């Protein structure tokens, strides 16, 4: 009997690339399925259009009758595009997106029917969503949750459904999704940053946070994935020997893209264009069959929605091309994992990127203000920032010598390090006219030239300044960007708020000039944040030691890392910035810690199943063949058979050893699982899964992988690394 792997191989050999014909230019297709500015103009009354624009820009409320007008316009537009259904589209704490479709269709009297969609349906819905994780909130408070329209992210048509981005909250007002706290964090950073901007330009009325994510992923043939229960159930391989050729030649990175993959990418990009996701770059990544897709940056809330949507679109388009898209942070051991760099900055409504040096000393002082405040925010909240990217999948990357370490540090490059050194020496209190001129001309004034040749990039840094933005590189490929973006914008908001208070105090009590006061506060911030700045190799052992001396956290696993989200400091931060209540923060923590446990539990079960029901029986089958062979040799050669069948006899013995080890270790793992399952406290349970159950994974895998390279290739049931990684 042939194995499933055999069928998978046969299928992949017969695959022909599915030709994809682009329909028109990207620029013509861009936003065709989005209810954007243009579509709104065309379909809405002037009054409704104004009201929605005000809601987007200033967060004003939309009246009921205006909502009716908006709904009616949305419906007309959607019907003209062939949509039949609508849905409130939201991001519950499962990490996936959720939708429940309702038809526009409504029967009326006399057996007739109409298409109907009203303001009430647009503004609020009550999905029967009681199965989404809620961390006990809805048990404690109120059973129902509802979704509410987020006008700042435009509605779009996906397939034949009008999707309306919404928040998801409980009836008592607690957030049950990713979007609600994100929107609050964005509003906090807007007001804090706008106040600070007024030191430099009174015309600034709004500051937006910008995000440009870079999505890494693997593509493997769907048939291989089907032949691997671990990929199907966990998104990663829990066993599998590394291939003879891995990524050591670096020949995949930026290499030419195969036809089949290119057709997938082209269809994906075209779909993205219709959905208004401004994807711009695509290339091969370091690992074989690993790729990256990146858009032009956007306002953070929209960028987060677009990334969530993209992950869904990728899977769908992948299926059409018979690819399985692997978004997991570490699908293959020994091969680079996938991340999602989050490029972040702040921009004013006057068109200024606050992390981009300007042309005048004053605009550079503004740049330095935001630059140094961001560094200070990361310094003061490094552990919380680490917690924002904690997940079972990302644990495989962080600190595993190929991705940023679990220690958060900031890389700024040599030139800016020098600028900070000079600023550190600024006199306390009033500055002499000479010092002021000097600072303006020689320190602040020089920044634009310096940055132009600031091309050195440190790939080992988790949080790097890259010329006009910070790049948070430790984010996992599968994660919803909302989590890290909520934390980053919140800590920067808090920092800017404190900065404003301190500068104002110096101006009012010490009678310093505005720029003197700013220099004074920045000087202190530089001194206070020195420990977070690191320019060296983040992967090195020395850095771990050095970071410990500096008092930086190094939380290598999710259960350890997550605690920072419910520390006293974090909760008072969330409350002060009005991002989350204590109840919400604790509920989220509970959900994340339970999710971690469940993921490890599922992986443990899958590994047990593979080892006992796939690998051991295969090993026994092969061993039986060897025994039969040795027996035959004995019949032929009599006593001499021991030297003639030496290899076979050794193999028979080695196979038995591995089988015994797999059996006993699997049993021990199951025992630990049983013990862990009895623990009631969610945190202790996660720790047990992390420290008692998970360590068996590598041990069991070791023996399974040894068997893989020993056993007849034809018998092996699971798709091999070389097949999954090198077939395109
Ligand atoms: P790489 O990091 O691969 O060298 P780039 O530096 O060109 O790539 O940019 C990576 C991402 O950074 C892109 O998605 C881009 O849109 C985004 N980006 C550029 N400027 C900003 C900004 N001001 N705010 C947020 N993201 C930005
Ligand atoms: Mg990058």
Which of 216, 297, 471 has most ligand 1 atoms within 8 Å of CB, for mutation? 297
- 466 CA distance to ligand 1 centroid (A)? 9
- 685 CA distance to ligand 1 centroid (A)? 40
Q: Which of the ligands is closest to the CA of residue 470?
A: 1
Which of 469, 471, 472 has most ligand 1 atoms within 8 Å of CB, for mutation? 469
Task: Kindly report, as residue ranges, where domains of CATH 3.10.20.70 are found in the chain.
Answer: 31-177
Does residue 439 surpass a pLDDT of 80? yes
Torsional class of 257: left (φ above 0), alpha (ψ -120 to 50), beta (otherwise) = beta
Of 93-97, 236-240, 646-650, 667-671, where does mean pLDDT reach its minimum? Answer: 93-97
Q: For the chain, give the mean pLDDT.
A: 91
Does residue 68 surpass a pLDDT of 80? yes
Q: Which long-range contacts (CB under 8 A, 24 or more apart) does 455-459 make?
A: 456/413, 456/414, 458/411, 458/413, 458/535, 458/538
Provide the H-helix boundaries in 62-208: 64-80, 119-123, 137-140, 179-197
Residue identifier of the C-alpha nearest atom 26 of ligand 1: 212
Task: Kindly report, as residue ranges, where domains of CATH 1.20.120.1560 are found in the chain.
Answer: 595-726
Q: What average pLDDT does the segment 36-62 reach?
A: 91
Q: Which atom of ligand 1 is nearest to the CA of 353?
A: 23
Computed from CA positions of residues 597, 599, 603, 608, in that sequence, does the dihedral angle turn out positive or negative? positive
Does the 186-580 domain belong in CATH 3.30.300.20?
no
Q: Which of the ligands is closest to the CA of residue 346?
A: 1
Ligand 1: which residues within 6 Å by Cβ?
Answer: 210-212, 214, 294-297, 343-345, 353, 466, 468-469
Does residue 328 surpass a pLDDT of 90? yes
| Percentage above 70 pLDDT, the chain | 95
Does the 31-177 domain belong in CATH 3.40.50.300?
no
pLDDT, position 264: 94
Q: Which atom of ligand 1 is nearest to the CA of 467?
A: 6
Q: Residue 122: name the closest of 210, 3, 35 by CA.
A: 35
Q: Which atom of ligand 1 is nearest to the CA of 292?
A: 3
Task: Kindly report, as residue ranges, where domains of CATH 3.30.590.10 are found in the chain.
Answer: 186-580
Residue identifier of the C-alpha nearest atom 4 of ligand 1: 466
pLDDT, position 226: 93
Does residue 143 surpass a pLDDT of 80? no
Q: 111 pLDDT band (50/70/90 cuts)?
A: confident
Q: Which of the ligands is closest to the CA of residue 339?
A: 2
pTM for the model stands at 0.95
Does residue 726 surpass a pLDDT of 70? yes
Quick one: three-class SS letters along 558-594?
HHHHHHHHHCHHHHHHHHHCCCCCHHHHHHHHHHHHH
pLDDT, position 255: 64
Does residue 578 surpass a pLDDT of 80? yes
Residue identifier of the C-alpha nearest atom 1 of ligand 1: 214
- 35 CA distance to ligand 1 centroid (A)? 26
Residue identifier of the C-alpha nearest atom 17 of ligand 1: 212
Residue identifier of the C-alpha nearest atom 11 of ligand 1: 212
- 444 CA distance to ligand 1 centroid (A)? 24
Q: Which atom of ligand 1 is nearest to the CA of 343?
A: 26
Question: What span, in angstroms and rounded, lies between the C-alpha atoms of 161 and 104?
Answer: 10
Q: Residue 391: name the closest of 539, 561, 235, 237 by CA.
A: 561
pLDDT tens digits along 205-215: 999 999 999 99
pLDDT, position 253: 61
Which of 281, 310, 343 has most ligand 1 atoms within 8 Å of CB, for mutation? 343
Q: Which atom of ligand 1 is nearest to the CA of 466?
A: 6
Q: What average pLDDT does the segment 464-485 reach?
A: 95
Which of 189, 212, 294, 454 has most ligand 1 atoms within 8 Å of CB, for mutation? 212
3-state SS assignment for residue 147: strand
pLDDT, position 249: 61
Q: Which atom of ligand 1 is nearest to the CA of 345?
A: 24
In this structure, what are the phi and psi dihedrals at residue 211, rounded to the nearest 5 degrees?
A: -135, 130
- 622 CA distance to ligand 2 centroid (A)? 47
- 418 CA distance to ligand 1 centroid (A)? 24
- 37 CA distance to ligand 1 centroid (A)? 25
CB 168 within 8 A of CB 180: yes
Quick one: three-class SS letters along 43-58?
HCCHHHHHHHHHHHHH
pLDDT, position 250: 62
Q: Which atom of ligand 1 is nearest to the CA of 468?
A: 23
Does residue 451 surpass a pLDDT of 80? no
15-31 burial, b for 16+ CB within 10 Å, e for fewer? beeeebeeeeeeeebbb
Q: Which atom of ligand 1 is nearest to the CA of 356?
A: 23
Q: Which atom of ligand 1 is nearest to the CA of 280?
A: 14
Residue identifier of the C-alpha nearest atom 14 of ligand 1: 212
pLDDT, position 508: 95
- 441 CA distance to ligand 1 centroid (A)? 29
pLDDT tens digits along 603-628: 999 999 999 999 999 999 999 999 99
Q: Which of the ligands is closest to the CA of residue 340?
A: 2
Quickly name the fold that domain 595-726 has: 1.20.120
pLDDT, position 140: 55
């Amino acid at each position: 009997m042939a194995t499933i792997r055999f069928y998978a191989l046969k299928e992949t050999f017969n695959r022909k690339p599915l030709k994809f014909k682009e329909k028109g230019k990207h620029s013509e297709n861009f936003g065709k399925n989005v209810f954007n500015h243009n579509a709104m103009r065309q379909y809405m009354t002037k009054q409704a259009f104004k009201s929605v624009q005000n809601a987007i820009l200033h967060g004003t409320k939309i009246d009921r009758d205006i909502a009716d007008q908006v709904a009616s316009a949305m419906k007309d537009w959607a019907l003209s595009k062939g949509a039949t259904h609508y849905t409130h589209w939201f991001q519950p704490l499962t990490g996936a997106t959720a939708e429940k479709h309702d038809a526009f269709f409504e029967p009326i009297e006399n057996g007739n029917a109409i298409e109907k969609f009203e303001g009430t349906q647009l503004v609020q819905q009550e999905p029967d969503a009681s199965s989404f994780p809620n961390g006990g909130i809805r048990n404690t408070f109120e059973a129902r949750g509802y979704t509410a329209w987020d006008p700042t992210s435009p509605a779009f048509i996906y397939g034949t459904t009008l999707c309306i981005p919404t928040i998801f909250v409980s009836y008592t007002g607690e957030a049950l999704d990713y979007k609600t706290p994100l929107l609050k964090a964005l509003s906090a950073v807007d007001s804090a940053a706008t106040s600070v901007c007024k030191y430099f330009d009174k015309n600034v009325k709004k500051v937006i946070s910008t995000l440009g994510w870079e999505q890494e992923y693997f593509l493997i043939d769907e048939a291989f994935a089907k032949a691997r229960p671990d990929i199907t159930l966990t998104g990663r391989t829990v066993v599998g020997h590394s291939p003879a050729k891995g990524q050591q030649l670096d020949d995949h990175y930026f290499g030419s893209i195969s036809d089949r993959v290119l057709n997938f990418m082209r269809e994906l990009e075209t779909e993205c264009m219709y959905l208004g996701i401004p994807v711009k770059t695509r290339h091969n990544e370091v690992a074989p069959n690993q790729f990256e897709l990146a858009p032009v940056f956007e306002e953070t809330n929209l960028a987060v929605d677009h990334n969530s949507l993209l992950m869904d679109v990728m899977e769908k388009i992948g299926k059409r091309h018979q690819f399985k898209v692997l978004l997991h942070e570490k699908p293959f051991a020994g091969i680079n994992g996938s991340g999602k760099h989050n490029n972040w900055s702040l921009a004013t409504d006057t068109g200024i990127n606050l992390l981009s040096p300007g042309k005048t000393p004053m605009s550079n002082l503004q740049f330095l203000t935001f630059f140094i405040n961001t560094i200070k925010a990361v310094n003061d909240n490094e552990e919380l920032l680490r917690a924002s990217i904690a997940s079972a999948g990302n644990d495989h990357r962080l600190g595993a010598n190929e991705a940023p370490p679990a220690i958060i540090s900031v890389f700024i490059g040599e030139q800016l390090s020098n600028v900070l050194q000079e600023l550190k020496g600024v006199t306390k209190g009033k500055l002499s006219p000479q010092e002021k001129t000097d600072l303006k001309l020689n320190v602040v004034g020089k920044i634009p030239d310096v940055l132009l040749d600031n091309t050195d990039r440190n790939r080992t840094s988790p949080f790097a300044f890259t010329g006009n933005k910070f790049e948070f590189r430790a984010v996992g490929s599968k994660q919803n960007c909302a989590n890290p973006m909520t934390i980053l914008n919140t800590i920067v908001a808090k920092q800017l708020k404190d900065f404003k208070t301190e500068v104002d105090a110096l101006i009012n009590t010490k009678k310093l000039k505005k720029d003197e006061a700013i220099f004074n506060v920045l000087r202190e911030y530089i001194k206070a944040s020195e420990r977070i700045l690191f320019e060296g190799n983040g992967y090195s052992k020395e850095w771990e030691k050095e970071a410990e001396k500096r008092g930086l956290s190094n939380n290598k696993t999710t259960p350890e890392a997550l605690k920072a989200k419910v520390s006293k400091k974090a909760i008072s931060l969330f409350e002060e910035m009005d991002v989350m209540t204590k109840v919400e923060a604790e509920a989220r923590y509970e959900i994340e810690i339970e999710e971690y446990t469940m993921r490890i539990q599922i992986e443990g079960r899958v590994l047990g199943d593979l080892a006992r029901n796939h690998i051991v029986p295969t090993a026994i089958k092969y061993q039986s063949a060897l025994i039969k062979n040795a027996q035959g040799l004995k019949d032929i050669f009599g006593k001499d058979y021991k030297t003639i069948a030496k290899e076979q006899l050794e193999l028979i013995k080695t196979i038995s050893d591995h089988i015994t080890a797999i059996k006993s270790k699997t049993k021990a793992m199951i025992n630990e699982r049983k013990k862990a399952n009895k623990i009631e406290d969610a945190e202790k349970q996660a720790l047990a899964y992390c420290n008692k159950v998970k360590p068996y994974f590598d041990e069991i895998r070791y023996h399974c992988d040894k068997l893989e390279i020993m056993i007849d290739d034809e018998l092996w049931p699971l798709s091999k690394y070389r097949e999954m990684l090198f077939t395109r």
